[in-house]
Amino acid sequence: MEKVKKKIGSFSFWNWVTASIIFRLILIYFPKNLNLSSRPEVSTPLTSFRRLAEGYWLKQSFMSPYAGSMYHGSPLLLSLLGPLTINRIEGQPNHLLYSLVSVIADVVSAMLIRATGQNLRLAYLRSLESLDLVKQIEVSEFLFSGDIAALIYLCNPFTIVACVGLSTSPIENMAVILCLYGACSRLIPLAAFGWVIATHLSLYPAILIIPVIFLLGCGPDSPPRKLFLQRHQQKEVLNQSKLPPRFSWGPVIHFAFWAFLWSVYVLVLCGISLKQFGGLWEMFKSTYGFILTVEDLSPNIGVLWYFFAEVFEFFRNFFLIVFHVNILFMILPLAIRLRHRPCYLAFVYVAICSMLKSYPSVGDSALYLGLLGWFVNELADMQFSLFLFCGYVGVSLLSPVMHNLWIWRGTGNANFYFATAMVYACLQIVLVVEGVSAMLNHDRKLRNLITGKPQDAKS
Amino acid sequence: MAETKEKSLSDEKPKPRVRPIVRLGIFLISHSFHVSVVCCTAGVLALFLLPVLAKNTYISENALMPGSASPMLSNQHVSDGNRLVKDLTNPNSKSSETGIESHKIIAQYMLDLGAEVSFHKFHPQMNQFHPLHFFSSPDSGKIQENYSCSSYGINTVGIIRAPHGDGKEAIVLVTPYNALKSGFGEALSLGIAYSVFSLLTQVTWLAKDIIWLVADSQYGEYAAVAAWLREYQTPKFSSLSTPNAEMCPDVNNLFELKGHSISGSKFSNSFRRAGTMASALVLKVRDQNEQFEDTISIYAEASNGQMPNLDLINVVNYLAVHRQGLRVNVEKLWSLLNSSWLKSLGEIFESLAKVAKSLYPKWKFGIPATEYVEGTATLASSLYYQALGVPTGPHGAFRDYQVDAITLEISPKFSLDKVWRNDILLRGGRLIEGVIRSVNNLLEKFHQSFFLYLLTSPSKFVSVGVYMIAFAFLIAPLPMVAASLYVDANSSSNCSKGDSSTPSAITDTDEHSIAIRSWRWLNSAKLVFIVHLWGAIVSLLPYFISQIPDCSPTTSFMIWVLLSILSLLTLNSVLASPLACAKATQEKEWALVKSVTISSVFIGLGLMSVINFATAEIGALLMVPMCLLAQPLKLDVRAGTLRSFCRMICNLVLGHIAFPPAALFLLKGMLDGFGNANVGDFWMWVESLWAWNSATYLFIGMVQLPCWVLCISILFHTC
């Protein structure tokens, strides 16, 4: 975040990318000293590397990888990444190969973010052009949001920690970004593939199907359709070509077909790899079931573990439903309000998920902070930016200290650590609320520019 | 911050309805100067009030029941102890060069009591630089390559298994002992421990195993205890060093003799363990004493200002004072005892209390002035040792494994007759017996009483809830001033741009200013980030400098300063320059820099207050005024009023004082006179800090130093 620059030439962009890769490689060579892979902030029961290695080992010895409630990830990850957990190169750090895969995943994600950001920026400029606002808003001042978003993603300490801490979140994030990239550049099979894999790996990205449908149906983010109509009413010429396209069902059906195809494919692969160990039902039970029933109450940066450690057993199911429905409740209103900005909608969904999911890690925050970079132009007048920044810095420093106080020194207790988790959740809420209101204000400002009102309503 | 924005909005377009909390925020921010003056004064005042607010200690854990049983230590045990002291002080036992003979004697005595005995060999570990040690768990020691047979120590460990226990818990008794040059005090401490030990082999009430560790202190007391604890808690399964140590003929010799002389006994070659440690007592007897009565000093500070549970100190204090008639001492800053200003402050508080009491008889908070002075001296030393982060004795090693431990140092009236010696053995022994018996009653680990407290006397303490108030007052102005500066910087730039433009252009300029307004602080944040990065580099530099052979402290310090300046210049040119020239024209940039600096200081101090309160408190006393007052000197010179002149003077003085080496120099000067202070002192001090993995070191390197640099850069800002 701190390295965001106002004007980033492509030369310095590549400099920063290289620097961040080198920084990761340096950190990879000191895994013992940092001990990141055992931090609760980095490795949750779902993303932990040690659990992956355990699952692989169980599978190699002809037992179900889900035996003993150790591993809760996808069987595909076991087949793809499992061999990397035991392959070692002489004289190198133990998990070098796996770390390199994470670094590559991060870089690929950053590149996809960049490409998507450029797409979004072009779309934004095009829509401004068709609204004849190019002169009023100095387009030359526009930042290259793709570059900025990619750099935020790459240089964010959260991403670096998740990458060096050997968690699987870089790969999960890559799947999400792949899905959004595919939808933005209208590569429907790719989008479907990303969506299916992301859902398969961590379940929560399933709700991204709504922004993806909007993206495919009416194209990338643009000001509300109403504005275009108003503009053209003013001019009294209805130029259909300048209007954003109406919702078209073709690509959506196309997407549904591909998504179906990919999910059948993934399920068949999973079924094959789990044939001897209880089949698909076992997989559903110990991956999605594990996510939804919050079985593991070990502390993490979320708020659910504390709550479910306290709650009475016979209320447990009720509160499980309440917490998960919380996410679903927010889907519809947000989808209606932000339907003209599907990518922004995706950002909001990802942020909400990372706040309310059962086993959050810093990798999830890394993802939505990266996506936030796409909208630097629209969110230029976001409020509380310094406050949020300081809050994120403070919490991410305070949380390990509180954990240490509780677990190692014994002078604190669980409330100390949970307090930081609550502050973190509040910060995320403030970020989402302010972000959405800033985006709506931006739309309002555009409307005022068109209708020619002298003062803007709220900004 | 929430309010800051609202304020900037309400300036432009007054809103019909503002929520009360927002209004309160706006009020606080707009009066941030007065608020910060009031808060800082209150913070300092509250700090001086702490000795008055101290509460009497009480035993919080009911299970402890100290002193409820009559002591069982009899003259028989005392004479046993006396025998050991005589044998150890016997010149024959010191014939061997490595002092193995005396270890053998101790082991033999333990064996005769029926205890399990083993020797633990260790190599003294050089103190290494682990900057991140605070965040990591205690790990098993790294295997070192070049062990030599000449440098190893032997700890003698005796274990009594509890007749009624399940062997899952243990109490540790540590007596540091240097076999090569032991004074009479060390032998006497062994005597006391032995007499207790011999009693404990016979008693039936023992529920926890007793471990008696005779720590070989020829390489330092702490190193021996730490080595034994490391072996105890984190066993090495494939250790390369053990066979290496076994090779040494001397050590083998020791074992052979032992095995030969007492076959079939409970002696074992391997490392023996008992259960998890409930608590540990380190017992020392001081050789010389100038006091007129038998006193016992309690040392409790472990690394990073961690304290053992207050109940442990309470038990010792209660038993020593009320059962054995010993005087209990905790460390004091002696230089404060004679200071007249403190005395007059105490008198003021005393008279205030009297007035209050005359007004309303139930207000009883005053303490006599002498007591106040003594309490302040104790509090100051408590703060000082906690802030230093260096353990005050071997008990510090236990705290790293969450075991509550204290060091008891008995300083008897000095006389040599046998009656006196027996008396000390009896009273010391009974004290230890009582403490062990109390701890033996515990069902859980110590958890009932406080871990976070400051002592103002052995029987008075200030708990975390009270002393945090002083700190909170001190740092409360920081976010407010940061917010008000942020708002000022933003609104002023808006006004200057908006005023001159014609109505048609308003929207245009608004767009432009909005685009930079909200994220303008990023520039300052970058500067602050660079300086903090530099701070991290500076804190890592001593590690490399210490590798240079044959370097005097002064040279090392000079190299350090040189490299630091060099790295600052490099970082500045590499990272900052392209941006600095692009945005140098911004007005009031210094205000934004100050705002971000203050925010970062707030985060740093808040963080440190959780890690080590004392460091944060002392740091806040230095840094908060400096941060709040910092303003470009040019502006002050230009203004030329009395107020700006005063501020300039304050800034310059604070700028000198808050520089860490200068602060240390002043502190040293105040404590032991300015005559013998030199430049190398700071280096030595820093070296001791990082050798002990003190978080204070990181605080100085990564919070205070960057803050100082930023404040200086604000002072010399060209605006």
ipTM: 0.88
Q: Chain B partners of A383 at a C-beta cutoff of 8 Å?
A: 5, 518
Q: Which amino acid is at B558?
A: M
* Spatial CA neighbour of B538 closest among B701, B679, B695: B701
Of B507, B519, B603, the CB nearest to A449: B507
Q: Is the pLDDT of residue B416 over 70?
A: no
Q: Is the pLDDT of residue B593 over 60?
A: yes
Q: Is the pLDDT of residue A10 over 60?
A: no
Q: A394–B517: do the CB atoms touch at under 8 Å?
A: no
Q: Is the pLDDT of residue B519 over 50?
A: yes
- Distance (Å, whole) CA A453 – CA B141: 72
Neighbours of B285 (CB within 10 A): 25
The two most distant CA atoms of chain B are separated, in Å, by 106
Q: How many CA atoms lie within 13 A of B553 on its CB side?
A: 12
- Distance (Å, whole) CA B77 – CA A457: 90
Q: Per-residue confidence at B12, pLDDT binned at 50, 70, 90? A: very low
Task: For chain A, say whether B540 makes contact (Cβ under 8 Å).
Answer: no
The pLDDT, as a whole number, for residue B469 is 93
> Which structure tokens are listed for B629?
């007052």
- Distance (Å, whole) CA A363 – CA A168: 9
- Distance (Å, whole) CA B389 – CA B580: 39
Of B2, B516, B526, the CB nearest to A384: B2
Give the mean model confidence (pLDDT) for residues A149-155: 92
- Distance (Å, whole) CA A148 – CA B648: 41
B662 three-class SS: helix
Neighbours of B360 (CB within 10 A): 8
Q: B522–A4: do the CB atoms touch at under 8 Å?
A: yes
Burial of B558 (0-12, 13-18, 19+ CB in 10 A): middle
Q: What is the dihedral of CA B490, B495, B501, B506, to 10 degrees?
A: 60
* Residue A63 backbone dihedrals phi, psi, to 5 degrees: -120, 165
Q: A138–B518: do the CB atoms touch at under 8 Å?
A: no
Binding-face residues of B in 192-231 toward A, CB within 8 A: none
Q: Is the pLDDT of residue B518 over 80?
A: no
> Which structure tokens are listed for B177?
């002992």
Pick among A375, A386, A415 to test the B interface (most B CBs inside 10 A): A386
Give the mean model confidence (pLDDT) for residues A53-66: 89
Least confident residue range of A25-34, A141-150, A154-163: A25-34
Task: For chain A, say whether B83 makes contact (Cβ under 8 Å).
Answer: no
* Residue B620 backbone dihedrals phi, psi, to 5 degrees: -65, -40
pLDDT in tens, B195-247: 999 999 888 888 899 999 999 888 888 888 988 998 888 776 644 444 444 45
Pick among B519, B524, B603 to test the A interface (most A CBs inside 10 A): B519
What pTM was computed for the model?
0.88
Nearest C-alpha in B relative to A37: B136
Nearest C-alpha in A relative to B602: A394
- Distance (Å, whole) CA B10 – CA B524: 25
Q: Percentage helix, strand, coil, to 5, in chain B? A: 60, 10, 30
Q: What is the dihedral of CA A314, A320, A321, A326, to 10 degrees?
A: 140
> Which structure tokens are listed for B355?
């007035």
Q: How far is B513 from chain A (nearest CA, A)?
A: 9
Binding-face residues of B in 229-258 toward A, CB within 8 A: none
Alpha-helical segments (H) within B54-176: 75-89, 100-112
Nearest C-alpha in A relative to B579: A5
Q: Chain A partners of B402 at a C-beta cutoff of 8 Å?
A: 408-410
Cα separation values, A50 from A55, A165, A168, Å? 9, 11, 11
CATH number attached to the domain at B58-90+97-125+151-234+265-331+392-440: 3.40.630.10
Give the mean model confidence (pLDDT) for residues B133-147: 47
Binding-face residues of B in 397-436 toward A, CB within 8 A: 402
Task: For chain A, say whether B143 makes contact (Cβ under 8 Å).
Answer: no
CB pairs under 8 A between A and B: 94
The residue ranges of every structural domain in chain A are: 2-451
B672-B673-B679 Cα angle (round to 5): 95
Q: How far is A384 from chain B (nearest CA, A)?
A: 7
Q: How far is B587 from chain A (nearest CA, A)?
A: 18
- Distance (Å, whole) CA B269 – CA B119: 7
- Distance (Å, whole) CA A206 – CA B433: 66
* Spatial CA neighbour of B456 closest among B465, B471, B467, B448: B467
- H or E stretch including B469? helix B464-475
Q: Is the pLDDT of residue A265 over 90?
A: yes
- Distance (Å, whole) CA B273 – CA A402: 31
Q: Is the pLDDT of residue B409 over 60?
A: yes
Cα separation values, A377 from A381, A434, B5, B134, B507, Å? 9, 15, 20, 41, 17
Q: Is the pLDDT of residue B570 over 90?
A: no
The residue ranges of every structural domain in chain B are: 28-44+468-491+515-575+586-716, 58-90+97-125+151-234+265-331+392-440
Task: For chain A, say whether B543 makes contact (Cβ under 8 Å).
Answer: no
pLDDT in tens, B84-100: 888 888 766 555 565 67
Task: For chain A, say whether B611 makes contact (Cβ under 8 Å).
Answer: yes
Contact call for residues B690 and B701 (beta carbons, < 8 A)? no
Q: A386–B514: do the CB atoms touch at under 8 Å?
A: no
> Which structure tokens are listed for B312?
């442990």
The pLDDT, as a whole number, for residue B472 is 94
Location of structure tokens 């429905």: A325
Nearest C-alpha in A relative to B599: A390
Q: Is the pLDDT of residue A328 over 70?
A: yes
The pLDDT, as a whole number, for residue B85 is 86
Contacts of residue A396, defined as CB under 8 A and 6 or more positions apart, other chains included, come to A41, A157, A158, A362
Of A7, A385, A449, the CB nearest to B519: A385
* Spatial CA neighbour of A301 closest among A168, A155, A158, A106: A158
Alpha-helical segments (H) within B389-417: 396-399
